[in-house]
Structure 1
Amino acid sequence: MQSSGGFKRRLNLLDLTLLGLGSIIGSGWLFAANEASIFAGSNAWISWLIGGVAFILIGLVYAELGSAMPRAGGFVRYPQYTHGTLVGYLIGFTAMLAYSSVAGIEVEAVRGYAATWLPALGTKAQGPTFWGFVVEIALLVFFFLLNYWSVNVFGKFNTVITAIKFLVPLLTIVVLFTHFHGSNLAVGGAKPGGTAGVFQAVSMSGIAFAYLGFRQAVDFGAESKRPQRDIPLAIIFAILLATLLYLLLQFAYLGAVPHGQLLKAGWAGLTFTQAPYAELAQSLGALWLMNVIFVDAVISPSGTGNIYLSGTTRVLFAWARTGLFYTWFRKVDARTGIPRGALWLSLLLSIAWILPAHQSFWSGLVGNVTSATVLTYMVGPISLASLRKTAPDMERPFRLGAISIVSPLAFIAASLIIYWSGWTTNFEIIGMVLASLVLYFAFIDREGTRNRLKSDWKTGAWLVVYYVFMLVVSRLGNYQLPTGAKPVLPNGVDDLIVAVGALIIYYWGVNSAMKKPEIDTDDEEVLAVNAADV
């Protein structure tokens, strides 16, 4: 491996938009409508709308950051630019957890649908068999090889796959609307239903998980031909297109479920659990659509898993680039422009996530990944507002308007999504992140950073308090409590407490930023594009 290499600017606006859209349209579209219907019933579309608005707010924040500072794995690096090593380390560790597990979720979705044809691969309830694990690992190795040779091969492959991934959901929408029963929208029986069901569906059914992919335009910013223009546009296009698609899918699903089945057990009694859209198509007699969905069930999650394996590579590179992870992972191969050491680690981490036997693997991990990923997003609004104060003259090709409103709203939205993930999920994720501070002290002596320990804790204490605050409210709130536990906070009051607490910590975080941001350059990591690359 050569250390003198750099990333190559080869991705255009279409590539970046489809990277985001390709990440969003993964296993989420195959499962989330069914899961959301169980949680929220005919109000499930509201959950998608809440998710879309929340991620538009968050996306606009990163549109400015990404265009001003196009960096590989920018989500990990911006917090360190504004708040130092403690915040940079915690976000980096959280991002490693979040990113590395997504590829595992996607190959599990592929295996889950394939198991309908090949029962030897396992079931949703029991998890993968030995041969199921073999198929999942083989897929991850295939993604690894696609990423190993060059970003150009990866990007063009993704563009073709995403085009296919977009067409099949559109076809599904058209067919299901021909079987639409308006009376379904008046049926109850969701679990838990009501407002709580709508909010919980955002975090736990796969809705927020589906939207997480918008970040790819930022993570691949160092490889964009025109990052200042294309990153903001790619973020906005991907989220808007995905929101429209998912709203149509949810309405189509709600209306096409056989009305007689709903009358028997309500939305919580839906039996389309192994392969929801395919099973629904079969119940409607559309066997040809069932087969098309089964084919797409391999293509869609595979495409997303491929993107996330590559995205994990950029995150690990970025973490190493900050000086808080092993320097070997920041080396970029000179010929391909790929950080191959980080890519190898991405593969090993993705395999590690699928090795344990999980019951209901997809739905079990999706809440954890959602909470962990949004825990990396929520710091963006604070970094953006901090930079407006400490670096007012920075060139900003995309300048977010009404930042005093949009930025705190984005932070509140992210905090609510984390809270709706529930106590069990947040205890696992935030607990691991706080426990990882042991490793922070192991790395803190690198490159003389121990001398600045006191100042970095001063600029980063708000984040530790935020984690503790979210744990306490999650335990007192209404979501995913331990068996037998009862909520202390009334429904609605808990959301208000999260919003007010988040707002207080937001302004604390903004005012805790370093007086002068420490922004590195991308000169050593990006190679000039030549005529052959354009």
Structure 2
Amino acid sequence: MGESQMSSPEGGKSLRRDAGIIGLLFASTTSMIGSGWLFGALHAAKIAGPLSLWSWIIGAVVIMIIALCFAELAALFPRSGALVHMSHASHGDGLGRVWGWMLFLSYVAVPAVEAESIVTYASNLKGLHGLVDNQGVLSVSGFIACAGLIGILAVLNLLAIRWLLRINTTVTWWKIAIPLLTGIVMVVAGIHQIGPMWQHAGSSVWSVASKSYTAQDMFIALPAAGIVFSYLGFRTAIDLGGESANPGRNIPLAVIGSVVLSGVVYILLQYGFLMSVKPQDVVNGWDHLSFPGVKGPFAGIAAMLGFTWLATLLYVDAAISPAGTGLIYTTAGSRILFANGEMHAGPHWLTRLNGQDVPWVSVAIMWAVGVIFLLPFPAWQKMVAYISDITALTYGLGPIVLLILRKDQPSLSRPFRLWGASVIAPLAFIFCNLIILWSGFGTVTPLFLIVLSIFAIYLIYFYLIARQPSEAFGWGNIWWLGVWFAGMWIISYLGGKDLGGIGVLGFWTAVIVTGVWSLIVIELAKRCSLPAEETAKIMMNIEKTM
């Protein structure tokens, strides 16, 4: 395959290194505390009832295990768009280029879904009911509003990175404070107005309507309720790593710290939500949970409890929190495009920088494609399911790269070294595949159709437009991807009927089969990796161009 080739940005300029530890920590945290906290507690409770509290705990553990793998890798690839460069190092240009565009597809939808969140919450307000229908689907006016919001995020991204992160740091203090305040108020109000977990009402939140949920629903809620989506933002610090003066220290701290911080916030919020729901709200089962103002769940509950001041704050936060997340994802997604341009996975003009050293062409593309994504996914929960799955798919490569670099480059200097990587990395890969399994066959099929379509488009570009020779694609290093994806589709198809499958495999049997299949895929990926000496050359080239 040869040494991975990278080029400099047009004009000879480079990205600034103005991102410190607080900037990176808050960049990841603000990516994690967005619309997920505004809607996740409601949808999790409707799926898993009171066991939804455990869903958030399980979600935090799963994402932390995945994040630990990337903490080591990010310190080895301290470049903007680092996730793109990782795949080049393990399996060469072919996989790196394809993966770069898959990463872009996982990022570009986030500003759009955050805009949908803002518009959906706003539809509860007088005069704005027409923005979405009763199912939360955007109307024409709602679509226009979302497109405008995504445009504002893009314009703000044309600022220098230091100013962007300063704005984000200020917003993040708010984004942490309001959910914490909401969780505390809900817990206290629940104790005094409803009783500790409803004990005085003759029933308990842990037992009422217990037939409307199962233990399996704890896991189904991870992708379906937006729990996985809510935790995915840790990767932002990785993507901005090339703009940090001390990436070896700052990136791992930011990645791990953001998961811990957001986990505390989300678990408190779910507990407060359960404390504040009244018994009569779930009399018909948790899946029929409803109350006045349910389109804006926490604001609606706050109003019912008599906290109009909190409801007002929440409507303000319903604009600020998603906007902060959308802002930083626009930043990170543009850096993925920037990296694609560097690695010749796309046109070189993707690396064009403005006077503030911001990749302005990539920012503009983030806006345009984000607006397009509103068409097939015109509601928050629809787009969240897609984002969760494709992100889990792209994250799956991280643990594999970690294992390959540990095997082939044992003497490589590692600013952060993950203890127990031989166990944690395979476990992380299994979790990525389980997230895909638990999303259900109805989501898995469109996911792989989108991936297949993108792959076909890239093949056309590679052979007919770029006119590259067949051997340059690196088929021998990437064929295992098709085996991996096909296996996951088959397992999902054979899975339980509660996940949209035909029921040949029960829920737990499918989990076991997915675990075994994941280990097989890891071995295939190792066998298809580049020779150790080629990986060493790529790592040296990356270091030289930092």
TM-score between the two structures when normalised by the length of structure 1: 0.93
The aligned residue for residue 491 of structure 1 is 507
Instruction: Find out whether 1:508 has 2:524 as its counterpart.
Output: yes
Deviation at 1:481, TM superposition (A): 5.3
Amino acid in structure 2 at the alignment position of 1:150 = A
The aligned residue for residue 460 of structure 2 is 442
Q: Residues 357, 7 of structure 1: CA spacing in aligned structure 2 closer, same or farther, 3 A cutoff? A: closer
Deviation at 1:225, TM superposition (A): 1.8
Deviation at 1:57, TM superposition (A): 1.0
In the TM superposition, 1:190-205 aligns within 5 A as 193-205=213-225
CA distance in 2 between counterparts of 1:107 and 1:293 reads 16
- 2:123 is paired with a residue of what secondary structure? helix
CA distance in 2 between counterparts of 1:239 and 1:481 reads 28
The aligned residue for residue 496 of structure 2 is 478
Amino acid in structure 1 at the alignment position of 2:434 = L
- 1:127 is paired with a residue of what secondary structure? coil
CA distance in 2 between counterparts of 1:439 and 1:447 reads 12
CA distance in 2 between counterparts of 1:36 and 1:99 reads 23
In the TM superposition, 1:21-32 aligns within 5 A as 21-32=29-40
In the TM superposition, 1:275-286 aligns within 5 A as 275-286=296-307
Amino acid in structure 2 at the alignment position of 1:293 = L
In the TM superposition, 1:102-141 aligns within 5 A as 102-117=110-125, 118-123=128-133, 125=135, 127-141=137-151
In the TM superposition, 1:120-519 aligns within 5 A as 120-123=130-133, 125=135, 127-178=137-188, 179-180=190-191, 181-183=196-198, 184-189=204-209, 193-262=213-282, 264-272=283-291, 273-333=294-354, 335-355=355-375, 358=378, 361-445=379-463, 450=469, 452-453=471-472, 456-478=474-496, 486-515=502-531, 516-517=534-535, 518-519=538-539
Q: Deviations over 1:158-208 (max 9, x none)?
A: 000011010001111111111144144323447962122111101110000
The aligned residue for residue 45 of structure 1 is 53
Give the aligned CA root-mean-square deviation in angstroms: 2.0
Deviation at 1:355, TM superposition (A): 3.9
Amino acid in structure 1 at the alignment position of 2:85 = R
CA distance in 1 between counterparts of 2:497 and 2:388 reads 15
CA distance in 2 between counterparts of 1:51 and 1:124 reads 29
CA distance in 1 between counterparts of 2:86 and 2:134 reads 39
- 2:306 is paired with a residue of what secondary structure? coil
The aligned residue for residue 106 of structure 2 is 98
Unaligned stretches of 5+ in structure 1? 527-534
Deviation at 1:388, TM superposition (A): 1.4
CA distance in 2 between counterparts of 1:378 and 1:468 reads 15
Deviation at 1:4, TM superposition (A): 1.6
Unaligned stretches of 5+ in structure 2? 1-8, 199-203
Amino acid in structure 1 at the alignment position of 2:422 = S
Tell me if structure 2 keeps the 8 A contact 1:105–1:366. Answer: yes
CA distance in 2 between counterparts of 1:389 and 1:479 reads 40
Deviation at 1:124, TM superposition (A): 5.1
Tell me if structure 1 keeps the 8 A contact 2:184–2:268. Answer: no
The aligned residue for residue 15 of structure 2 is 7
Q: Residues 479, 249 of structure 1: CA spacing in aligned structure 2 closer, same or farther, 3 A cutoff? A: farther
The aligned residue for residue 63 of structure 1 is 71
TM-score between the two structures when normalised by the length of structure 2: 0.91
Q: Which moved more, 1:435-444 or 1:456-465?
A: 435-444
Q: Residues 448, 72 of structure 1: CA spacing in aligned structure 2 closer, same or farther, 3 A cutoff? A: farther
Tell me if structure 1 keeps the 8 A contact 2:205–2:279. Answer: no
Percentage identity across paired residues of the two chains: 32
Instruction: Find out whether 1:80 has 2:88 as its counterpart.
Output: yes
Deviation at 1:87, TM superposition (A): 2.2
Q: Residues 390, 192 of structure 1: CA spacing in aligned structure 2 closer, same or farther, 3 A cutoff? A: farther
CA distance in 1 between counterparts of 2:478 and 2:77 reads 21
